[in-house]
Structure 1
Amino acid sequence: MSPPARYLEDFVPGMVFEFGDRLVTAEEIVTFAREYDPQPFHLDDDAGKQTHFGGLVASGWQTAGFMMRMLVDHMLSPETSLGSPGLDQLRWLKPVRPGDRLRARVSIREVKRSRSRPDMGTIHQTTEVLNQKDEVVMSTISIGMVRARASAENSPG
């Protein structure tokens, strides 16, 4: 099931969305690490115990992937989402471990209609990934491009 279609006009600075419930398993941590980030603390619990992590931890890039999946499943409408020109900030704040349950919290910071393309605009947002203890494990400041419902000439204000 796709998220509801949210157009540029539906976003207001200060809005907060919370969603997701993603259980992280040791198997998927190791599988991802083998392919994309084969550092010892992502591949083996014993190797992770020899580091400041104290055990097996997910790659930060995998955590970013978990975040993206939650955004697609719960917030980014296929009708209105137009991609992103990038992130302004990405921080990995706490390790993600097997058994963690992750969710996302998105706070809308700014909404701007494009001057050159009034049929779309950008949303500046902070996205936090939280674990089951309500600890922020990752945060981003990013920009999303979103289709507008009305052109600038036809929209109020």
Structure 2
Amino acid sequence: MRYWEDLAVGETHRYGRYELTEKEHADFVSRFAVPAVVGADADAVPGYWLCCIAMRLLVDHALTDMASLGSPGVDRIDWPTAARIGDVLTLSTELLSARVLESRPEMGLIKQTMTLENQRGDAVARMWTNALVARRETAS
């Protein structure tokens, strides 16, 4: 189990492999009533689906072994390049800052970037996120 004390500002990680399939795209668009895109960007996938994929990769590869206490939110999301059906995505993270909360010393707040990249290394989604992590010294 990784606690707040185990994290180092500047550390980076790469996680997973997720292929964007036409079937999943159609299911997502249908299920969540995403408006159809016509023309040159018809094979572009919705940005919020990319956020879901990034979270899935983070949960599967990082949070299962983290003393996570949830997230107070996301500061910003960018979609610098369109993701397309057939792309294979990988998630990378970089820890930007970490501090103990004065009002809740049993936990720390971390800020990180999460970048979803396609097989060519192009960023298709980037999120600046916040997370609460339990401190080992105060864990019961």
Unpaired runs of 5+ residues, structure 2, are none
Separation in structure 1 between the aligned mates of residue 66 and residue 84 of structure 2, nearest angstrom: 35
Q: CA deviation at 1:37?
A: 4.2
Partner of 1:60: 47
Unpaired runs of 5+ residues, structure 1, are 42-46, 152-157
Is 1:135 aligned to 2:122, yes or no? yes
> Could you state the TM-score of these two structures normalised by the residue count of structure 1?
0.83
Q: CA deviation at 1:7?
A: 0.6
Alignment of 1:1-157 (within 5 A): 5-41=1-37, 47=38, 50-51=39-40, 53=41, 55-77=42-64, 80-151=67-138
> Could you state the TM-score of these two structures normalised by the residue count of structure 2?
0.93
Whether the 8 Å CA contact 1:15–1:107 is kept in 2: the answer is yes
| AA partner of residue 109 (structure 2) | T
Q: Which runs of 4+ in 1 moved over 2 A?
A: none
| AA partner of residue 18 (structure 2) | R
Q: CA deviation at 1:22?
A: 0.4
Structure with higher RCO (Cα < 8 A, 6+ apart): 2
Q: CA deviation at 1:76?
A: 1.0
The alignment covers a number of residue pairs equal to 138
CA offset digits 1:77-113 (Å, max 9, x no partner):
3661111010111011111111110011100000111
| AA partner of residue 71 (structure 1) | L
Q: What secondary structure is seen at the aligned counterpart in 2 of 1:40?
A: coil
RMSD after superposition: 1.3
Separation in structure 2 between the aligned mates of residue 102 and residue 60 of structure 1, nearest angstrom: 13
